Structure formats: C-alpha cells, structure tokens
C-alpha cells in the first residue's frame, strides 16, 4: 500500500494557505469549493486504495492465506475490543454511533506503523499521555545529586537541578474515506484499510510539525527556539550555523561539540536530518569511497555514532543535528470518530473525521542545532 501516488493532496502547503485566507475572509462558498476540489483531486487515489484492499482480501480468501502471509500484508490479529468495534461498524455498514467503541489500540497501531515506515518518527520519544502533559526536565549543566549532611534538605536539588513544564494538548485531525464495500471484507481487512489510510493522512503532517511546528495550536518543531519573543503564538526560528565543508575539523567543532552541551555530557552519537534532495546532491558523494580495485562503497562516514536520515519536511539547504530522542511527542489515549455527509461524493462512500489530542516539543532549548548547508560542496575520496 506504499508509494501509491506521489501526488496525493497536491500542492498541500498552497492549499492550506489558500484555505486559511478563505476562512479569514469569511467566504464560506470559497471554503466549500476548495474542500470539494481537494477531495475530487484525490478521489482516484482514495478509490485505488480501497480497490487494492478489496482485491487482496478476495485473493486471500480464494488462496486461503495463512496467518504469516496475512501478517506480511499488514493484516493483524485483533484484540477483542477491536473486533467488537469493527463488527459493530460492519453490522450498521458504517462507523455511525460506534465512536464510543473505538479502542485506543486502533490509533496506537497507526503510530506504531508510522514509526516503522518513517525513520524520524521511529526515533523521537513518543508517549501516551493524558489531556495535559507535564515534563520534569533536568536543567542542562546542573547537578542532579549533591553531597551534604544526612539531615540536609533535598530541596536544593529539586529547585536547582530540575524544571517542570506543563503543556496542554492540541487537536490532530485527519479524515477517513470508506465505501460500503469495505464493510463486507470482515474486521481484519477493514482494520488494515483504516490503519493504512490514517497512516498516510497523518504521516506527512506529523513529520512536518516535529521539524517545523510553530507552537501555535500545534507542537513546537526542532527548528524553533524555546526561548525568545513569541509573536502571535509562534516561536521564533533558530539562527542557522553556516556549514561550508564536511572536514573532520568542522564536523568536530560545529556538529559534535554542541551535543556535549558545553562539555557537561559525553558525546554518544548524533543524527543529521536532511531533505532527501540535499542528501542526494550533497551527502551521498561525501560517503562514497572508491577502492584500489575500482569498486565503490557508499555510506562511509568516518564519524563515530553518526547517522543521517532523510526527512522531506526539512527545508532545502538546511540540516538539523541532535538526538531525536530529545524530542518528546505526547499523544492522548482517547480519540473521536465523527461522521459527516458533507463530502459524500458518491452514494456508497462517506467521509469520517478522526481527531486526537497531541503535543510535542524539544526537551530543552539546545537539543537541536540548525545549519545552513547551501554552500556545502560534495567531494569524492578514494581509499
């Protein structure tokens, strides 16, 4: 079910900006037209997804696939609560009035799948939380323990060594298009389709906010400063460090050194997040080595603990360095599933709105460093 169509929700950012402008102008007709046009432009893709699942489900029935084959196709064993939820939906041929039965594990599995398919999301610190999240963080460079008289108060350590940050949740909304034919496949295949669709809708947006989130009704991204003037709810972007070469001296000084937090912790590795185009044009050649026999090897970066991952959400000519585990994303355990007929484009299809509370932010202000790599030139070494 991957790589079905590279043009899903075409020009997404332009559509979002146009939609925001229409909302702000109060033109309900324009908003309605844009929503319908968006749906129509992607209708063939949604239909393809459904047809593909129906085709595989029929093939599985005809060939009597065993559990191992089903699992390889993304069909999983359901919990009793999940089976109850999908059977209730099948009985009424829709998700109407079944939202209270939707177990949190359905959405949790979506995030598990997201983490498997998207390297960045597999590395950040995902946690299931309540509607309000409190982070208890150690202040950089301060002691978490101290020597003293056995009767001494520990208040000093609490006051000086840690900080507590409370943060509410924001609404993460997605949509689900389901035809009546999908309810004839059985609970396992219906679950497979629901999770695949939700994953596709959520994945790009989740990666985008982890990298670029403004903090205004959404998480704070890695490229944002936690300290500084917040304008209209948006956190300022970090100043970029210019990276002109990828020599050992520059790597050590500009990339590895910041991870030690001014020498207060050991260097244990670093992850570089770059746009796939920048990886292809700037970093691929840097890791290419030609042996004496003329053959080539790739991905050879002589830096201990270095990892490079490609993230389309990272702006071009930009690199982010840090440990993705230093980004916390809290996701509430409860979700809602709402029915709407507004975008029912044909009689046997219906649109459902899926909403869940989530929020995230870097653990501290210097968890991630942002670089300008526009001047970085690739070079090829021979052994």
pLDDT at residue 348 in the model? 62
Report residue 141's pLDDT band, with 50, 70 and 90 as the boundaries: low
pLDDT at residue 130 in the model? 64
Based on the domain organization, do 204 and 258 belong to the same domain? Answer: no
Which range of 77-86, 231-240, 346-355, 358-367 scores highest in mean pLDDT? It is: 231-240
209, 377 Cβ separation under 8 angstroms: no
- CATH code where residue 282 lies: 3.30.2320
Q: Identify the residue with better confidence: 234 or 140.
A: 234
pLDDT 10s digits, 159-180? 555 666 666 788 777 667 787 7
pLDDT 10s digits, 46-103? 777 888 888 888 898 888 888 888 888 888 888 888 888 888 888 888 777 665 667 7
Report residue 139's pLDDT band, with 50, 70 and 90 as the boundaries: low
Query: Is residue 5 one of the residues assigned to a domain?
Result: no
Pairing of strands 162-167, 133-138: antiparallel
pLDDT at residue 228 in the model? 81
Q: Identify the residue with better confidence: 296 or 199.
A: 296
pLDDT at residue 61 in the model? 86
Pairing of strands 296-297, 349-362: unpaired
Based on the domain organization, do 88 and 37 belong to the same domain? Answer: yes
pLDDT 10s digits, 312-351? 999 999 999 999 999 988 887 666 666 655 545 455 666 6
pLDDT at residue 374 in the model? 94
Query: Is residue 42 one of the residues assigned to a domain?
Result: yes
pLDDT at residue 247 in the model? 87
pLDDT at residue 382 in the model? 46
Based on the domain organization, do 158 and 257 belong to the same domain? Answer: no
Based on the domain organization, do 208 and 345 belong to the same domain? Answer: yes
Query: Is residue 94 one of the residues assigned to a domain?
Result: yes
Query: Is residue 185 one of the residues assigned to a domain?
Result: yes
Based on the domain organization, do 104 and 196 belong to the same domain? Answer: yes
Report residue 5's pLDDT band, with 50, 70 and 90 as the boundaries: very low
Average pLDDT of span 250-268: 90
Based on the domain organization, do 96 and 177 belong to the same domain? Answer: yes
pLDDT at residue 8 in the model? 46
Average pLDDT of span 133-149: 58
Distance CA 282, CA 375 (A): 10
Based on the domain organization, do 114 and 182 belong to the same domain? Answer: yes
Based on the domain organization, do 303 and 159 belong to the same domain? Answer: no
CA–centroid distance for 12 within its chain: 16
Angle at 378 between CA 376 and CA 381, to 5 degrees: 140
Based on the domain organization, do 28 and 172 belong to the same domain? Answer: yes
Domain that holds residue 144: 133-165
Query: Is residue 108 one of the residues assigned to a domain?
Result: yes
- CATH code where residue 111 lies: 3.30.2400
Query: Is residue 35 one of the residues assigned to a domain?
Result: yes
Distance CA 287, CA 289 (A): 7
For tokens 């929020």, the residue is 359
Based on the domain organization, do 78 and 212 belong to the same domain? Answer: yes
pLDDT of residue 15 exceeding 60: no
pLDDT at residue 185 in the model? 86
Based on the domain organization, do 160 and 173 belong to the same domain? Answer: no
Distance CA 198, CA 182 (A): 15
Based on the domain organization, do 215 and 288 belong to the same domain? Answer: no
Q: State the average pLDDT for the chain.
A: 78
Query: Is residue 227 one of the residues assigned to a domain?
Result: no
Angle at 190 between CA 187 and CA 192, to 5 degrees: 110
| Contacts with 204 (C-beta within 8 Å, 6 or more apart), sequence order | 12, 312, 313
Q: Identify the residue with better confidence: 20 or 172.
A: 172
Q: Identify the residue with better confidence: 316 or 10.
A: 316
Least confident stretch, 68-77, 127-136, 229-238, 343-352? 343-352
Edge to edge, what strands does the sheet with 125-129 contain? Answer: 125-129, 327-340, 349-362, 170-179
Report residue 1's pLDDT band, with 50, 70 and 90 as the boundaries: very low
Query: Is residue 46 one of the residues assigned to a domain?
Result: yes
pLDDT of residue 376 exceeding 80: yes
- Give percent above pLDDT 70 in the chain: 68
How many independent structural domains does the chain possess? 3
pLDDT of residue 27 exceeding 80: no
Query: SS in 3 state form for the chain?
Result: CCCCCCCCCCCHHHHHHHHHHHHHHCCHHHHHHHHHHHHHHHHHHHHHHHHHHHHHHHHHHHHCCCHHHHHHCCCCCCCHHHHHHHHHHHHHCCCCCCHHHCCHHHHHHHHHHHHHHCHHHHHCEEEEECCCEEEEEECCCCCCCCCCCCCCCCHHHHHHHEEEEEECCEEEEEEEEEEHHHHHCCHHHHHHHHHHHHHHHHHHHHHHHHHHCECCCCCECCCECCCCCCECCECCECCCEECCCCCHHHHHHHHHHHHHCCCCCCCCCEEEEECHHHHHHHHCHHHCEECCCCCEECCCCCCCCEEEEECCCCCCCEEEEECHHHEEEEEEEEEEEEEECCCCCCCCEEEEEEEEEEEEEECCCCCEEEEECCCCCCCCEEC
Q: Identify the residue with better confidence: 270 or 195.
A: 270
């Amino acid at each position: 079910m991957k790589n079905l169509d590279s043009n899903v929700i075409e020009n997404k950012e332009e559509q979002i900006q146009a939609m925001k402008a229409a909302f702000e102008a109060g033109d309900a007709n324009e908003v309605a037209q844009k929503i319908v046009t968006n749906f129509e432009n992607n209708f063939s893709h949604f239909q393809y997804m459904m047809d593909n699942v129906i085709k595989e489900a029929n093939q599985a029935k005809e060939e009597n696939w065993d559990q191992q084959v089903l699992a390889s196709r993304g069909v999983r064993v359901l919990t009793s609560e999940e089976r109850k939820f999908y059977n209730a939906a099948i009985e009424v041929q829709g998700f109407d009035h079944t939202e209270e039965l939707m177990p949190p594990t359905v959405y949790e599995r979506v995030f598990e799948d997201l983490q498997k398919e998207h390297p960045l999301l597999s590395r950040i610190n995902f946690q299931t939380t309540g509607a309000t999240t409190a982070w208890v963080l150690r202040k950089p460079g301060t002691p978490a323990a101290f020597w003293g008289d056995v009767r001494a108060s520990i208040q000093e350590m609490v006051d000086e060594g840690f900080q507590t940050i409370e943060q509410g949740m924001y609404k993460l909304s997605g949509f689900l298009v389901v035809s009546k034919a999908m309810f004839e496949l059985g609970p396992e295949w219906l679950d497979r389709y629901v999770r695949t669709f939700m994953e596709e809708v959520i994945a790009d947006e989740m990666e985008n906010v982890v990298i670029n989130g403004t903090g205004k009704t959404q998480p704070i991204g890695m490229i944002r400063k936690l300290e500084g003037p917040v304008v209209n709810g948006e956190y300022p972007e970090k100043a970029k460090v210019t990276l002109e070469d990828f020599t050992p001296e520059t790597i050590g000084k500009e990339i590895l050194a910041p991870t030690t937090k001014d020498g207060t912790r050991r260097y244990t590795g670093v992850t570089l997040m770059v746009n796939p185009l920048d990886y292809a044009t700037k970093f691929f050649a840097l890791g290419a080595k030609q042996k004496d026999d003329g053959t080539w090897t790739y991905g050879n970066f002589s830096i201990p603990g270095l990892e490079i991952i490609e993230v389309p959400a990272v702006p071009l000519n930009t690199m982010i360095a840090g440990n993705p585990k230093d980004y916390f994303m809290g996701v509430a355990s409860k979700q809602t599933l709402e029915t709407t007929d507004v975008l029912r484009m044909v009689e046997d299809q219906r649109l459902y709105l899926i909403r869940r509370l989530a929020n995230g932010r870097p653990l501290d202000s210097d968890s991630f460093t942002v670089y300008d790599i526009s001047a970085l030139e690739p070079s090829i070494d021979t052994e």
